[in-house]
């Protein structure tokens, strides 16, 4: 015979394993969240790596532009006498034969 007294005892016994399973699942969820946020390859590491990649891309773009300018200058030096003459005048202070050099000094 089932009485009203035996019904709560029966449900308490069923809830105990359910509570244990829920507690285990909750602990696993917390551990997975900790791993996700702070572990190797977690969100924090991913954000830091993305910032490093963005910085490197900017630096690479600047260096690519510099390389293009240097390539153009090298091509100009290989092909043109004018570029060589300009460089000799500006960097070495050379002048052509029969030219007169005037230097002005600002006071």
pLDDT tens figures, 41-55? 788 888 999 999 999
How many Å apart are CA 42 and CA 36, to the nearest integer?
5
3-state SS, residue 2 = coil
Tokens 């996700």 sit on residue: 36
- Note the pLDDT of residue 52: 96
Instruction: Answer for the pair 83, 77: CB distance below 8 angstroms, yes or no.
Output: yes
* CA distances (Å), origin 15, targets 20, 47, 78: 9, 43, 87
Entry field: residues in the chain: 107
| Average pLDDT for the chain | 83
> What residues contact residue 42 under an 8 Å CB cut-off, 6+ apart?
35, 36
Burial of 14 (0-12, 13-18, 19+ CB in 10 A): exposed
- Note the pLDDT of residue 32: 87
- Note the pLDDT of residue 107: 78
């Amino acid at each position: 015979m089932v009485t009203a007294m035996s019904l709560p005892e029966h449900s308490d016994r069923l809830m105990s394993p359910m509570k244990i399973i829920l507690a285990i699942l909750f602990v696993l969820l917390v551990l997975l969240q900790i791993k996700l946020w702070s572990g190797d390859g977690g969100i924090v590491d991913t954000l830091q790596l993305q910032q490093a990649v963005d910085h490197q891309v900017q630096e690479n773009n600047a260096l690519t532009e510099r390389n293009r300018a240097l390539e153009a200058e090298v091509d100009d030096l290989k092909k043109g006498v004018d570029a060589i003459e300009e460089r000799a005048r500006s960097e070495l202070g050379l002048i052509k034969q029969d030219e007169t050099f005037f230097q002005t000094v600002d006071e």
